[in-house]
């Protein structure tokens, strides 16, 4: 469990020639009692790990789909404490890594040390915090090290080369490469520069590189996966769960996954 397990699990798949696919879901959207079933569905579909979003009142990095899902989750009473308790009470432990995506305030208010400890106890392997740039990350470094959970860093297409290098040097678990200049959600085709940026990150990063933001279909997933180690898909998965289109989620994941040995362009 923890940071090492996360990195090793993903690296194992990469060394087998597989591309990675991490679906994002909002904890509590549809009710926390759905969480275990959803994680098992995503696991069975072939997800490499799961990114579990903690709803927040002011999600500035998120687009409309995830904002709406977060509001639904908050309205039905979802709390960070409740999510961690639910994870601990799962009947079957997840068989793939689980990472949390949360804005900083809920964990700051929870108490960073208590959060790190309780997350580790709940089987969380890493945490993605979109409003915590490296300048401020010292606020949780010790607590996360102590608990053995990864602080998963984000890189952006407009990060300067020296920032990208510094981010890569600190990277734990995997690197979350934001692939659009914007918020989460559906994007037009990704620009050539984004592909170059992913390839550059791939060259310098000591951990797997996954592209996220604006990935909504197997074609986009494959195009980006070609430049790095895989993709994170959020808004589309959240939307499909909300619409009850679970079969479509399975097929989106399966169609997006491919092995290096059978390149994407041969499949399509």
Partner 1 sequence: MTTYTMPTKEGKYGIFGGKFVPELLMPAVIELEQAYTEARNDPAFIQELDNHLRQYVGRETPLYFAENLTKKWGGPSIYLKREDLNHTGAHKINNTIGQALLAKRMGKQKIVAETGAGQHGVATATVCALLGLECVVFMGAADMKRQKLNVFRMELLGAEVRGVEQGSGTLKDAVNEALRYWVRHVTDTHYILGSVVGPHPFPQIVRDFQSVIGNETKQQILAASNKLPDAIVACVGGGSNAMGMFYPFIDDHAVRLIGVEAGGNGLQSDKHAAALSTGSAGILHGTLSYLLQNEDGQIQEATSISAGLDYPGVGPEHSYLHEQKRVTYTAATDEEALAAFQLLSKTEGIIPALESSHAVAEACKQAEKMQTDETLVICLSGRGDKDVEAVQQLLRGDNHGE
Provide the annotated active-site residues.
Answer: 51, 62
Regarding 201 and contact with partner 1 (CB under 8 A), the answer is no
Least separation in angstroms between residue 104's CB and partner 1 is 5
Regarding 163 and contact with partner 1 (CB under 8 A), the answer is yes
CA dihedral 168, 172, 176, 177 (to 10 degrees): 10
Beta bridge partner(s), residue 152: 128
Least separation in angstroms between residue 182's CB and partner 1 is 4
Regarding 74 and contact with partner 1 (CB under 8 A), the answer is yes
- How far from 21 is each of 120, 136, 175, 258, CA to CA, in Å? 23, 29, 13, 10
Work out which of 10, 167, 194, 257 binds partner 1, going by CB under 8 A: 167
Q: Which residue stretches of the chain are H helix? A: 3-15, 35-45, 64-75, 80-88, 104-110, 112-121, 141-147, 161-170, 192-204, 218-225, 235-242, 246-256, 264-267
DSSP conformational letter for 134: G
From residue 31 to residue 60, the character string flagging contacts with partner 1 as x (rule: CB under 8 A) and all else as - is: -------------------------xxxxx
Work out which of 4, 81, 85, 170 binds partner 1, going by CB under 8 A: 81
- Our CB check for partner 1 shows the closer of 43 and 184 to be 184
- Our CB check for partner 1 shows the closer of 36 and 131 to be 131
- Our CB check for partner 1 shows the closer of 48 and 78 to be 78
- Among 5-13, 16-24, 140-148, 160-168, the segment contacting partner 1 (CB under 8 A): 160-168
- Among 19-27, 28-36, 76-84, 90-98, the segment contacting partner 1 (CB under 8 A): 76-84
Least separation in angstroms between residue 139's CB and partner 1 is 9
- Among 12-20, 36-44, 159-167, 228-236, the segment contacting partner 1 (CB under 8 A): 159-167
Least separation in angstroms between residue 186's CB and partner 1 is 13
74 class by beta-carbon count within 10 Å (0-12 exposed, 13-18 middle, 19+ buried)? middle
Closest CA to 252 of 69, 48, 47: 47
* Spatial strand order in the sheet of 175-178: 150-152, 126-128, 98-101, 50-53, 20-26, 230-233, 209-212, 175-178, 154-155
Phi, psi of 37 (to 5 degrees): -65, -40
Q: Which residue stretches of 205-243 are H helix? A: 218-225, 235-242
What CA–CA distance (Å, rounded) separates 124 from 117? 10
Regarding 186 and contact with partner 1 (CB under 8 A), the answer is no
Site for partner 1 in 101-130 (CB under 8 A): 103-110, 130
Residues of this chain that bind partner 1 (CB under 8 A): 56-61, 63, 67, 74, 79-81, 103-110, 130-133, 135-136, 154-156, 158-160, 163, 167, 178, 181-183
């Amino acid at each position: 469990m923890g940071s090492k397990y996360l990195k090793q699990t993903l690296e194992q798949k990469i060394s087998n020639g597989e591309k990675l696919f991490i679906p994002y879901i909002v904890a509590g959207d549809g009710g926390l009692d759905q969480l275990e079933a959803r994680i098992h569905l995503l696991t069975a579909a072939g997800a490499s790990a799961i990114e579990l979003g903690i709803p927040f009142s002011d999600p500035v990095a998120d687009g409309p789909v995830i904002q709406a899902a977060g509001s639904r989750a908050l309205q039905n009473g979802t709390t960070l404490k409740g999510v961690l308790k639910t994870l601990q009470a799962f009947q079957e432990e997840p068989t793939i890594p689980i990472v949390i995506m949360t804005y900083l305030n809920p964990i700051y208010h929870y108490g960073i040390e208590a959060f790190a400890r309780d997350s580790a106890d709940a089987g969380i392997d890493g945490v993605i915090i979109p409003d915590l740039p490296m300048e401020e990350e010292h606020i949780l470094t010790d607590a996360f090290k102590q608990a053995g959970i990864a602080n998963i860093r984000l890189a952006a297409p407009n990060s300067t080369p020296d920032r990208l290098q510094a981010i890569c040097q600190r990277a734990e678990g995997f690197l979350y490469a934001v692939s659009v200049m914007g918020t989460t959600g559906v994007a037009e085709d990704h620009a050539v520069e984004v592909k170059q940026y992913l390839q550059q990150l791939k060259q310098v990063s000591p951990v797997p590189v996954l592209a996220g933001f604006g990935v909504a279909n197997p074609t986009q997933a494959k195009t980006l996966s070609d430049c790095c180690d895989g993709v994170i898909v959020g808004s589309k998965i959240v939307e499909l769960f909300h619409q009850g289109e679970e079969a479509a989620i399975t097929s989106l994941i399966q169609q997006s996954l491919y092995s290096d040995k059978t390149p994407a362009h041969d499949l399509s």
